[in-house]
Structure 1
């Protein structure tokens, strides 16, 4: 079974989709896929579906959604080559005491692949191998086709997981841009960073990276303007001044050349505020 959640939800068995179109069964599958190969308690599924206000028929309705998912799995199994021991849908979406488990049979997961590639990128960066770090992190980020669980109506569990995954994506993005900066790709980053600082208006790392890329591209005045916009936003929206690291970077740009600014940012990574 192959599971993709970094974008639209897509769960396939034997190459055939088992992702339902109806919102509630889709939500159930999303939670089961999120905790693939683990038991998901019935109570957790009911909480996800009805947010603390379940109908009296909640358990029966949940069983109906599980039956719908098993029907899709059975259809996918119908196209599976025959074997001595034929599996059934109940062998894949398993009922256990107190809950259900989605058995992936060791299939692929885009989240696991993202974590693997991002981990390789982080270790390469720690070792000073910035070409490899940039390459591995770029591959990890390419797995994202949109917001996580983009087409699933989320409850508390899924919303929390979406936030966690987005933070993981931002961390990988931040480190990939850092690697590209260290490789001298300042001008190539300008268009991307222009969009990112507009989207993440209080993210200090991204603003610091944008300032550095602009300054190294000979656009010192624009780099200082980015700092002023960041400071204004932080003070107005959060009641905070920029971090000490960002302030030092601003002073480096004011007082010295690009090399000094680069040394400043490499000595102490910028602190994220988001």
Structure 2
């Protein structure tokens, strides 16, 4: 089985898709896919589908949606010639109080993303920026667009999507950090130009943007990026930029030579992890 949620929903058994066309069963399958190999209580599915106002027949309706998904699984198993080895109830399992989607050793892109990202983080922590950049790029390449972009979501899936998107942004920030350590400031500059516009209050992105601009000979633009960040934080949140960003700003004003070094070690505590 192959399950993908980092983009439009994809669920295949032996290469054959078993995604329903109806919106509510797709929503149920999306919930099961984001928690593959874990039991999801029926009450959680009900909350996702109808919030705090489920219809009187919600139990029967949910069972109908489960049956609908299983019918698509059966068709996929039949078409692939696997029905004699695995039944629809082996794929979408009923457990006491809930349901479980069993990949049975298959792949889930969300799991692979997390595995590659964590490997990248470990490499960053050990100072191996080449491996960190490669692992984080591999993790980010698994994304095909916004998570579950084609699913009508309720409150629970919305939170899961926010979690996934935050994990994606974190991996992206760390990959850019690794690239800056490797002297790729000009390569990441256009990417950062877009990202800081999309996330105007993200200090990590702005810090990386300032470093990339400064090392590309654009000190004035780097200082302007700081001013925009400060204006946004003060106006919208009532706070000043962090000490780390303020120190970077002061270092640029002073033209400290360590800013030009590709591998910034511990020359100054606040600058050591800026790239």
Counterpart of 1:63? 63
TM-aligned CA distance change 1:177 to 1:99, over 3 Å: same
SS at match of 2:94: strand
- Structure 1 segments, 4+ long, off by >6 Å, are none
Q: TM-score scaled to structure 2, two decimals?
A: 0.93
TM-aligned CA distance change 1:21 to 1:136, over 3 Å: same
Aligned CA RMSD, in angstroms, stands at 1.6
| Offset of residue 91 of structure 1 | 1.9
SS at match of 1:79: helix
Distance in 2 between residues matched to 1:268 and 1:57, nearest whole Å = 60
Counterpart of 2:109? 110
Question: Over residues 80-118 of structure 1, what are the superposed CA-to-partner deviations in whole Å (9 max), with x where a residue is unaligned?
Answer: 3358x5322122112222111111111101011011111
TM-aligned CA distance change 1:192 to 1:265, over 3 Å: farther
Counterpart of 2:75? 75
Question: Over residues 144-187 of structure 1, what are the superposed CA-to-partner deviations in whole Å (9 max), with x where a residue is unaligned?
Answer: 11111111111121111111111111111111011100100111
| Offset of residue 30 of structure 1 | 0.6
TM-aligned CA distance change 1:258 to 1:69, over 3 Å: farther
Unaligned runs of 5+ in 2: none
| Offset of residue 58 of structure 1 | 0.7
1:1-274 pair list within 5 angstroms: 1-81=1-81, 86-257=85-256, 259-260=258-259, 262=264, 263-264=267-268, 267-269=271-273
TM-aligned CA distance change 1:265 to 1:228, over 3 Å: farther
Unaligned runs of 5+ in 1: none
Q: TM-score scaled to structure 1, two decimals?
A: 0.94
Distance in 2 between residues matched to 1:129 and 1:49, nearest whole Å = 45
Distance in 2 between residues matched to 1:168 and 1:75, nearest whole Å = 35
Distance in 2 between residues matched to 1:237 and 1:194, nearest whole Å = 21
Distance in 2 between residues matched to 1:91 and 1:189, nearest whole Å = 46
User: Number of residues paired by the alignment?
Assistant: 269
SS at match of 2:80: coil
Question: Over residues 119-168 of structure 1, what are the superposed CA-to-partner deviations in whole Å (9 max), with x where a residue is unaligned?
Answer: 11111111111111101101100111111111111112111111111111
